Amino acid sequence: MTPASVTTTSIERVGVVGCGLMGSGIAEVCAKAGVDVVVREVDADAMGAGRRRIEGSLRKGLARQKLSEEDHAGAVARLRYTTDLGEMADRQLVIEAVTEYEPAKVEVFATLDKVVTAHDAVLATNTSAIPIMRLAMATDRPQQVLGLHFFSPVPVLKLVELVPSLLTSDGAVLAAQSFAEGVLHKRVIISKDRAGFVVNALLIPYLVSAIRMVETGFATAEDVDAGMTLGCNHPMGPLALADFIGLDVTRAAAQSLYDEFKEPLYAVPPLLSRMVDGGLLGRKTGRGFYRYDNT
């Protein structure tokens, strides 16, 4: 890594680009931690949906007495919503959480590089598998770009993968790690910049193997999941987990891993591709390997 170029003063202004399942969770935990947050979505409809998701989660926290009235009101007040990436100009940390599609992420980073005014601001991606270097090189400040990969549901799961590229400065790593640990109270693990990082490099072959079992008729989804929950004490079976993650995200992660390593265990099963092509993405669409009532 290059010499430090980022100050280690506390990060107080965060931007989140994307307000889907992951982006909304990241924005929520930052606001609850006392940080000023700007959330950006592509249009008013997407922004409205994201805002409802965040505010609904905060209301549940209040109803379950996990948040006090004061903490709830403070978190709501610290959140601001926009469709303009230009409003990220004064942010000290921007976390990109758009769709798991490399060209879309590259476009976001190229734009952030132009609009974020502080040259020592950290530009982070929540990608689950795309190599960080590819996104960093869309900017003129690759030393400030790194991965901060959260896990869903973000308000519940404590892990964050921190992924520096070969060009990321020590200062950017320190600033991001200090924020994730000291402000958000997450457990940080550090990974080399390889597709899939630590968690998905282990998880995706497991999910893909389970999908192949169903595809070939070796076992039903229900039996595969029962085998892993009741036989191995996993909290969720692999097919239910793939539905929870999103089959589109699962496919994208598998493809990134296969593109990088060319190992057959990462290859996307045809069944997974057909399900994604048909819009059967799991919980978020109401149907994947199982059916869900999203009403």
The answer to whether 125 and 148 have CB atoms below 8 angstroms apart is yes
What's the confidence (pLDDT) of residue 218? 97
Residue 161 annotated as catalytic: yes
Rounded-to-integer distance, Cα 278 and Cα 281, Å = 8
What's the confidence (pLDDT) of residue 20? 93
Please identify which of the residues 24, 161, 191, 256 carries the catalytic annotation: 161
pTM: 0.90
What's the confidence (pLDDT) of residue 294? 81
What's the confidence (pLDDT) of residue 9? 55
Please identify which of the residues 149, 165, 191, 256 carries the catalytic annotation: 149
* CA distance to 68, 127, 213, 217, per residue, from 273 (Å): 45, 20, 15, 17
Q: How many CB atoms lie within 10 A of CB 185?
A: 10
What's the confidence (pLDDT) of residue 221? 98
What's the confidence (pLDDT) of residue 7? 44
Could you tell me which residues come within 8 angstroms of residue 95 by beta carbon, excluding any fewer than 6 positions away?
14, 15, 16, 17, 23, 26, 124, 125, 126, 148
Decide: helix, strand or coil at residue 50: helix
Residue 263 annotated as catalytic: no
Homologous superfamily of the 13-190 domain (CATH): NAD(P)-binding Rossmann-like Domain (3.40.50.720)
Rounded-to-integer distance, Cα 194 and Cα 128, Å = 11
Q: How many CB atoms lie within 10 A of CB 269?
A: 20
Please identify which of the residues 57, 169, 200, 256 carries the catalytic annotation: 200
What's the confidence (pLDDT) of residue 8? 42
What's the confidence (pLDDT) of residue 129? 87
Please identify which of the residues 126, 128, 165, 169 carries the catalytic annotation: 128
pLDDT digit string (tens) for the chain, length 295 residues: 443 344 445 899 999 999 999 999 999 999 999 999 999 999 999 999 999 999 999 999 999 999 999 999 999 999 999 999 999 999 999 999 999 899 999 999 999 999 999 999 999 999 988 999 999 999 999 999 999 999 999 999 999 999 999 999 999 999 999 999 999 999 999 999 999 999 999 999 999 999 999 999 999 999 999 999 999 999 999 999 999 999 999 999 999 999 999 999 999 999 999 999 999 999 999 999 999 998 6
Residue ranges per structural domain of the chain: 13-190, 199-284
Nearest CA-CA partner of 109 in 79, 146, 160: 146
Q: In the Cβ-directed half-sphere of 102, how many Cα atoms lie within 13 Å?
A: 16
Residue 149 annotated as catalytic: yes
Residue 200 annotated as catalytic: yes
The fold of the 199-284 domain, in CATH, is N-(1-d-carboxylethyl)-l-norvaline Dehydrogenase; domain 2 (1.10.1040)
Q: How many residues can be counted in the chain?
A: 295
